Amino acid sequence: MGLGTDNTICKQELLDAMRPLAGENLERDDVQSNLGALGQALFRIVHEHAETSSNKILDNVFWTWVEYVDVVLATWRQAFTNWAPTQPAEQALKASLLNTLPARPPRPTALKGDVL
């Protein structure tokens, strides 16, 4: 779940957090207004000042690991593809495993982030 396009979620989180302390006072217009302003500040801090970053060295280490995992999965995939089970339970296991192995994720060419 993201933050949405305005301060609504931030304000509601503040209201929910304050409810055990403030109780019915939260329904007052002045309290709602103050928490709305705080919610707007939180929304702006996160939405306008959050940064997505990427580190070429660490990203490369991560994608090298993903490629290694892909090779391991390909080995398992081939082993199960070559397996010729004779029992119905084994055949069901083979079908289930072959249908659940994930495809190789593509290496991204760009990174763009936003908090919404």
Q: Using the CB atoms, write b or e for 29-64: b if 16+ within 10 Å.
A: eeeeeebbeebeebbeeebeeeeeeeeeeeeeeeee
Q: What pLDDT is recorded for position 114?
A: 56
Write down the pTM of the prediction: 0.46
Question: Taking the chain (116 residues) in consecutive chunks of 10 residues, what is each chunk's mean pLDDT?
Answer: 81 91 90 91 85 76 85 85 92 86 71 58
